[in-house]
Structure 1
Amino acid sequence: MSNSQRGSVRFRNVRKDFGSFTAIHDLDLEIEPGTLVTLLGPSGCGKTTTLRMLAGLETPSAGTIEIGGHDVTRLPANERDVAMVFQSYALFPHMSVLDNVAYGLEAGGQSKAEARENAHAGLALVGLEGYGARLPAELSGGQQQRVAVARALVLEPQVLLLDEPLSNLDARLRRRVRTEIRELQQRLGFTAVYVTHDQEEALAVSDRIVVMESGLVAQEGPPRELYEEPASEFIADFMGEANVLACEVLDIAEGRATVQVGGLRHTLPTRKAARPGPAKLAVRANAIRLEAGGDASLPGRIQSSAYLGDHVEYEVELASGTIFVVDNATTDPLPPATDVSIGFRDRGIALITA
């Protein structure tokens, strides 16, 4: 295996059936070495099944899986050069933290002394030097998660697999631990495949995001591209709750489209696939400007408002339906029943082409 291939992953036309139900449809996906790729999607989309096939815990019904350029499709889990961090951490409660980290090394044939030396180094990697004598129950949830990561990393796998690794942590701790995982991955340069249903988490940690829907890849690409250029209504809604509005594309020139929503015209960057005619516009909640009264080229009426400290959330009724708006102007919130004019900001708006 060449160094350039180590840590690479390739799914070639992989299908997974459970009886008459097809969970994964002809998955063709390539993961470059040294990158963190997140499989993202709602429950039942196939992301965890994909991860389990990569780990060797499920066998594809068709197609091949390669790790480091080698076909591992029929290899059992213990013969694949991967390590998995589970949602539940799966630490042995009766073993010390050091013994938990050393367990896989000893099972792989290292002497006890060598395994413990490497386990100490693994704990230092994740900032837990000096915690080796403690039991898992004596650690916080975030510390237990780091032990699980250390236990996987000391095996020096080609690919680290993380299955909803932060779901058992509170919101503040999730932010801290996801930053630690990302910094560790970038510092050590290992390949990681990360599964989550949390869009914010995926945006924060990933080099690339693969959004899955009903066993298919709905869209893949860098986080910014998926957020700012959703290819479909599903992606626009899933990646940050965009308002999807019917529009008319009036003109396309030099990579920009002029669209009309009601009486409002707006110009925005567009993809090559766009063409004049009826279309849909994905508008983020914070990309909408509200003005009491105004010229009302796109009129609306506030149904409800909620003050949340650093911003105000509004539900605004348009002729075409209700939209959700987030406004950072908190000094004088607009009360319900206020007639408003809708405007769009320069960013946070995308033309849906599929």
Structure 2
Amino acid sequence: MTKIRAGSVKFEHVKKTFGNFTALPDLSLEVEPGTLVTLLGPSGCGKTTTLRLLAGLEHPTSGRILIDGKDVTMLPANERDVSMVFQSYALFPHMNSLDNVAYGLESSGMKKNEARERAEEGLKLVGLAGMGHRLPAELSGGQQQRVAVARALVLEPQVLLLDEPLSNLDARLRRQVRTEIRELQQRLGFTAVYVTHDQDEALAVSDRIIVMKEGHIAQQGTPRELYEAPASAFIADFMGEANVIPCEVLGVENGIAEIRVGRALHRLPAANAQPGPAQLAIRPNAVTLMPDDKGDFPGRVAHSAYLGDHIEYEIETEFGRLFFVDSDINEPLPGQTDVSIHFKNRGLALIAQ
């Protein structure tokens, strides 16, 4: 299989309503050719509607959708140069893997011998060479998922769409298969739009993440940008969990803010904050818990749980109950222990009010 010609994607002020419900009020976004962009967000945020609009399974109420510069807004699904990997895989149970992969090619008019040859190549591409004779029921969940990806890729689409492709796999297999998808995308250079509600999955596979909330883009950027510089408390908590507490910005100079939190002063990237009230996002692993009174603010252990390589703590503080993790499993802090919270150098982000 040759390297797939990657196409760009553009939504221009797309609105989508279902009766009286507006799923997408006014969506504009771009996907660069050869990149993997993830639409991330909670249930009902509009990410699946966006994917279905791009696939041609729905049509917008208003606005335009372009693929590689071509207006496809009202084109049916079979006239768009896209392929989709569904959450359920949608494999034909009575067909073996080879026939499943070749089906789309044969349906488009390709001769059977040529279709089967390309299907064999597609199975080899996803690590299933020699397994074309197996029925879906004879494959593991991860193997079925790879057959679905091969079936989509052999059509050589300009854009590959993936709708929650790993949701039916267990945690360990999800890690393995997401790595395979990412390596395949980078090797072949195709454009991919990936939908998930799993933050770890999005961080692991994406060139860029678009976080959606109630049909709007809440924030977009690289995985590192969204994790380390969230624009809101919603993003901070959604991208990997965070404790969000109030703080005060004392001053800003050269993009660095001096803040007061509890009884301590810190300097952080300003993130558009101005002097006055603000919020501080604290990642669970961004602190050290010490049985002293010299930290940023005091607390008391309300609950702890041993999880093998770390301990989870819930700490009662003046800001409410906060969640932290500690890799020191040799000396766990018992319940009702008075502690102070010491901030580390990483895992803190200032959020403007």
Matching residue's letter, 2:69: G
1:289 Cα deviation from its structure 2 partner: 1.6
1:190 aligns to 2:190 (yes or no): yes
Deviation readout 1:172-196 (Å, 9 max, x if unpaired): 0000000000000000000000000
Corresponding residue number in structure 1 for 2:339: 340
SS at structure 2 position matched to 1:285: coil
- Kindly report which structure 2 residues correspond to 1:188-267, keeping only aligned pairs within 5 A, or say none: 188-267=188-267
Q: Deviations over 1:298-338 (max 9, x none)?
A: 11111011111111110001112111011111110111111
Q: Distance in 2 between matches of 1:32 and 1:295?
A: 49
Partner of 1:170: 170
Cα deviation code 1:10-47 (max 9, x no counterpart): 00000100111110121110000000000000000000
CA distance in 2, matches of 1:297, 1:180: 43
- Conservation of the 8 A alpha-carbon contact between 1:10 and 1:30: yes
Q: Answer yes or no: is the 8 Å Cα contact 2:24–2:215 preserved in 1.
A: yes
Indicate the residue corresponding to 1:134 in structure 2. 134
What's the counterpart of residue 11 of structure 2?
A: 11
Q: 1:297 to 1:285 in 2, by over 3 A?
A: closer
Gaps of 5+ in 1: none
For 2:6 and 2:266, the matched residues in 1 are separated by 48
The 2-side partners of 1:227 and 1:342 are apart by 22
Partner of 2:66: 66
Contact residue 40 and residue 211 of structure 1 kept, 8 A: yes
Find the residue that maps to 1:143 and give its secondary structure: helix
| Matched residue SS, 1:130 | coil
The answer to whether the aligner puts 1:151 opposite 2:119 as a matched pair is no
Paired residue type of 1:7 = G
Distance in 2, Cα, partners of 1:345 & 1:297: 11
Letter in structure 2 aligned against 1:293: D
CA contact (8 A) 2:6 2:190 kept: no
**Quick one: distance in 2 between partners of 1:297 and 1:213?**
33
Match of 1:274 in 2: 273
Distance in 2 separating the partners of 1:229 and 1:28: 22
**How far, CA to CA, are the matches of 1:211 and 1:323 in structure 2?**
24
Cα deviation 1:72-95 (Å, max 9, x = unaligned): 000000000000000000000001
* Deviation at residue 240 of structure 1 after TM alignment: 1.1
Equivalent in the alignment of 2:293: 294
Match in the other structure for 1:102: 102
Q: Which amino acid aligns with 1:111?
A: K
The amino acid of 1:31's aligned partner reads V
C-alpha separation between the residues in 2 aligned to 1:25 and 1:226?
Answer: 23
Given the superposition, is the C-alpha separation of residues 200 and 210 from structure 1 closer, same or farther in structure 2, using an over 3 Å criterion? same
Q: Tell me: CA distance 1:297–1:157, structure 2 relative to 1, closer, same or farther (3 Å).
A: closer
Distance in 2 (CA, whole Å) between partners of 1:183 and 1:118 is 20
Q: Distance in 2 between matches of 1:296 and 1:177?
A: 42
Instruction: Tell me, yes or no, if the aligned pair for 1:6 and 1:69 is still in contact at 8 Å.
Output: no
The question of whether the paired residues in 1 share the 8 Å contact of 2:6 and 2:189 is answered with no
Specify the alignment match of 2:307 in structure 1: 308
CA–CA separation in structure 1 for the residues paired with 2:307 and 2:260: 32
Shift of 1:6: 4.6
In the alignment, the residues of structure 2 paired with residue 35 and residue 106 of structure 1 have an alpha-carbon distance, to the nearest angstrom, of 29
Q: What percentage of residue pairs aligned between the two structures are identical? A: 71
Q: What one-letter code is carried by the residue in structure 2 that aligns with 1:17?
A: T
Give the superposition deviation at 1:250. Answer: 1.0
For 2:273, the aligned partner's letter is A
In the superposition, the TM-score normalised over structure 1's length comes to: 0.97
SS at match of 2:285: helix
Count the aligned residue pairs. 350
1:246–1:96 CA distance, 2 compared to 1 (3 A): same
Cα distance 1:345–1:296, how it changes in 2: closer, same or farther (>3 A)?
Answer: closer
Q: Distance in 2 between matches of 1:253 and 1:17?
A: 46
Aligned residues of 1:266 and 1:344 also touching (Cα < 8 A):
no
Provide the aligned C-alpha RMSD in A: 1.2
Q: Distance in 2 between matches of 1:296 and 1:147?
A: 54
Q: In the alignment, is the contact (CA less than 8 A) between 1:36 and 1:206 conserved in 2?
A: yes
Separation (CA, whole Å) in 2 of partners of 1:333 and 1:6: 52
Tell whether the 8 Å contact from 1:279 to 1:351 is kept in structure 2 after alignment: yes
For residues 39-68 of structure 1, give each alpha carbon's deviation from its aligned partner in whole angstroms, at most 9, with x where no partner exists. 000000000000000000011001000001
Gaps of 5+ in 2: none
Letter in 1 for 2:124: A
Q: Aligned residue for 1:329?
A: 328
